[in-house]
Amino acid sequence: MTTATTPVRTAARPSAPAPGRRAKRSGLGKRLELALLLGPALLVFVGFVLVPIGIAAFYSLFEWNGFGPLDDFIGLDNYADAFKGGVFQGAIVHNLIIAGLSIVVQLPLSIGLAMLLNRKLRGRAVLRALVFAPYVLSEAITAVIWVLMLQPNGFADQVLKGAGLGGLVHQWLADPGIVLYTLFAVITWKYVGFGIILLLAGLQGVPAELREAAALDGASAWQITRHVVLPLLGPTIRIWIFLSVIGSLQLFDIVWIMTTGGPANASTTMATYLVDHGFKRYEFGFGSAVAVILFVICFVFALLYQRFALRRDTQGALTRMVG
Amino acid sequence: MFAKHRIPVLAALAAVVPLALSACSGGTEAPAQPSGPVTLTWWHNGTTDPIKSIWEKVVADYHQAHPDVTIKAQPLQNEDFPTKVPLALQGAEPPDVYQSWGAGDLASQITSGKVADITEFTKPWITQTTGKFGENWQVDGKQYGVPFEQHFVGFWYRKDLFQQAGITTPPKTMDELNTAVTQLKAKNIAPIAVGGKDRWPDAFYYNYFAIRECSIDVLKQSVKAVKLEDPCWTKAGQDLKNFLATQPFQTGFAGTPAQQGAGSSAGLVANGKAAMELQGDWEPGTMSSLTEDKQLDSKVGWFPFPSVAGGQGDPAAVLGGGDGFACTTRASKACADFLQYLGTEPVQTQLAAQGAGLPVNTVAAKSLKTDTLRAVYDYGTKAPYLQMYFDRAFPTAVGAALNDAVANMFAGQGTPEGIVTAVNQAAAGNK
């Protein structure tokens, strides 16, 4: 094929004098093509992502209730206020707890279940569908379902009592001491299916020959898992951690609907704090400052993570520059 | 049912930076009144019946009587208003008529320069239609909106459960209320339900203790100055603390929503799982939607918040608020005329008769659905003083800080002094 097409192309452009110049010209064409194809997306990105971030950063320098003219410039006071306030500090801690718990609890759980579901067992398709089902529900619906199940003497308590575990019954959403962990359990219920699907896809990429070879060399099932499967799952796990931490930092819907950050701010997250102050209290300047802080935290994490954790995975994945 | 129906479901957090509003700022030039046919865009929160149908009929009737005025009604979820109104007032084309709860919120919105001063247009009729109640839609003596319904807060209770516990007459003093709580507990009945998750029901208790502890003068002066200085405010917090110590509420009240589902505080009373709830006049409507019980109306009674021994406040003063509409500047004359129509007898009678709320126009009160509602109406309108819910009376940020501080105390954290400090700090602009 190649041998047939090359002469045709040369024939179509008889004026192309040297390979070097031809490459340059087609490079220019490629650039034009890129600009044409990328342009609209870039415009949308600038207009709906970069500009709003800039505007929010601008608003955050003012004391502003969202209505009047922007005339009360206060510099970085909003940022100082945010970090001075115990509630916002608490919110950051809550986000970090959720992120940490995700890695410590959700990840092993997802890996374990994924490996289980990767085996040949009866009803595997049904099990997979069941595990994945919660992920398909919207966060709002998940939250409403769980509010109803977790209310005092609700479904969760009845199940515990029925199983003879009545002593475990708690005020799941009303006790400041445990509300954050209740929310984490709901988040886990919803997102573990997503982790499993991701990891199942990763497991498909682990060649059966490698396991067989290890088994022939006398490796135990645990050794195979530890030294063959897990390392090959690495890229998937690293992506999962990335998504999970970003998700934990931006946590909003489930918390807002189930507790609105209460009781006594025990489950406030950065995002609920932002909406509470920005929209419910008309503190738009301050809310913008909180939004910028949240953005910077996520952005810095994303950059560092790309740089240090994902570098190996993305190496060679980027197309080299044309021309 | 409407003023306080503020379940903040699904606030839009589309991205990390949701606060980026359009960059245009409000111009202050007064637009000329358009002559000829006018179209009024009307944002109301009547998304469910009965009020939905009433407003539909109002639109049709009004257009028939005023062919040159077209009303484009746009029902919005109640919880959309806090986000949509600021955005609209900041934008180029705000609605002409929008739902307003008066007082602090309205005062914040006026700084946009887009809310119309309708003093001149409403002067001839507002007192006659709404009595003194319309003053809650005034800012600095100028009329910016007109109410169509008023609300009063008090205790709704189950007559059957009171009887079971041997309580013969509704409590009149705090001591009697405490006794009733003890009697109900002895019968294993949750005495009082409260929707602590939503915070504002918690605040009703502090509001009322303050109304009983502080003289009317102190209340007026404190709201005006947005500063709690008189010791009565701390005393109210102490009263609340003492009351909480008697553990009068249902298990897990800090996580209970007020109006969602059978497990909400309204649902608990509606289904006979709790004996009382401190709520507004909208409560029978909310409760009946959460129970199968067709006889509910005959099972519930109402009594005012008890008197507090030694308090400086008037024991008959009442806590409440109302629903109204404000006008923006494009067509304020036509808008004011429309608001006048909402206060007239035919509309007000429909609102009362169909159980949508308590009318502002006294002639419609006789059409109220039940004797209990008529009693609530009489009590509220004859009260020597109406204190608007503090979260509405104060600027929005201050009101939210108050509700938060009270909710913290309900959750077992915070002190009486802490509530006062939280309000004063929020008023000083601290977050």
Residue B205 has pLDDT above 60, yes or no: yes
Q: What is the chain B residue with the closest CA to A85? A: B431
Nearest by CB to A260, which of B8, B397, B411?
B8
pLDDT digits (tens, 9 = 90+) for B254-305: 999 998 888 999 999 999 999 999 999 999 989 998 999 999 999 999 999 9
B10 contacts on A by Cβ (under 8 Å): 140, 253, 257
Q: What percent of chain A has pLDDT over 90?
A: 65
ipTM of predicted complex: 0.82
A50 contacts on B by Cβ (under 8 Å): none
> How many angstroms separate the CA atoms of B170 and B159, rounded?
9
A266 contacts on B by Cβ (under 8 Å): 411
Q: What is the chain A residue with the closest CA to B251? A: A152
> How many angstroms separate the CA atoms of B284 and B278, rounded?
12
Question: Would you state the pLDDT for residue A25?
Answer: 57
Give Dmax over CA atoms of chain A in angstroms: 88
Token readout for A238 is 């690293």
Sequence-distant (≥ 6) Cβ neighbours of residue B298 within 8 angstroms: none
Token readout for A281 is 């209290």
Nearest by CB to B431, which of A55, A85, A298?
A85
- Of A11 and B173, more confident: B173
Question: Would you state the pLDDT for residue A314?
Answer: 67
Q: Work out the pLDDT band at B28, boundaries 50, 70, 90.
A: very low
Which residues in chain A (188-247) have CB-CB distances under 8 A to chain B?
A: none
Pairing of strands B318-327, B274-280: unpaired
> How many angstroms separate the CA atoms of B360 and A79, rounded?
45
Q: Work out the pLDDT band at A266, boundaries 50, 70, 90.
A: very high
For residue B359, give the amino acid letter: P
Nearest by CB to A284, which of B19, B255, B408?
B19
Q: What percent of chain B has pLDDT over 70?
A: 92
**Contact B304/B154 with Cβ under 8 angstroms?**
yes
B21 contacts on A by Cβ (under 8 Å): 55, 59, 66, 284
Question: Would you state the pLDDT for residue B129?
Answer: 92
Question: Would you state the pLDDT for residue B17?
Answer: 35
Cβ–Cβ of B408/A51 closer than 8 Å? Answer: no
Asked whether the bond before B50 is cis by omega within 30 degrees of 0, the reply is yes
Question: Would you state the pLDDT for residue A11?
Answer: 41
Token readout for B414 is 């915070």
Q: What is the chain A residue with the closest CA to B90? A: A67
> How open is the CA angle A7-A9-A14, to the nearest 5 degrees?
90
Question: Would you state the pLDDT for residue B254?
Answer: 93
Residue A6 has pLDDT above 80, yes or no: no
Which of B10, B17, B202 is the best substitution to test chain A (most A C-beta atoms within 10 A)? B17
Q: What is the chain A residue with the closest CA to B399? A: A281
Residue B13 has pLDDT above 50, yes or no: no
Question: Would you state the pLDDT for residue A71?
Answer: 87
Q: How far is B257 from chain A (nearest CA, A)?
A: 9
Query: Mean pLDDT of all residues in chain B?
Result: 89
pLDDT digits (tens, 9 = 90+) for A144-174: 999 989 988 889 999 999 999 888 888 999 9
Specify the pTM.
0.86
Token readout for A193 is 């299916």
Question: Would you state the pLDDT for residue B421?
Answer: 96
Residue B18 has pLDDT above 80, yes or no: no
pLDDT digits (tens, 9 = 90+) for A186-241: 999 999 999 999 999 999 888 989 989 999 999 998 999 999 999 999 999 999 99
Which element (helix H / strand E) includes B69?
Answer: strand B69-75
Helix (H, G, I), strand (E, B) or coil at A227: helix
Measuring CA to CA, which residue among A114, A121, A254 is closest to residue A184? A254
Question: Would you state the pLDDT for residue B372?
Answer: 95
Cβ–Cβ of B108/A67 closer than 8 Å? Answer: yes
Q: How far is A157 from chain B (nearest CA, A)?
A: 12
The residue with tokens 């913290």 is B408
pLDDT digits (tens, 9 = 90+) for B85-137: 988 998 888 999 999 999 888 988 998 899 999 999 999 999 999 988 999 99
Cβ–Cβ of A259/B255 closer than 8 Å? Answer: yes
- Of A5 and A117, more confident: A117
Q: Work out the pLDDT band at B407, boundaries 50, 70, 90.
A: very high
Question: Would you state the pLDDT for residue A138?
Answer: 93
Residue A72 has pLDDT above 50, yes or no: yes
Q: Work out the pLDDT band at B73, boundaries 50, 70, 90.
A: very high
Angle between helix A179-204 and helix A107-118 axes, rounded to 10 deg: 40
Chain B contact present for A282, CB below 8 A = yes
> How many angstroms separate the CA atoms of B315 and B293, rounded?
34
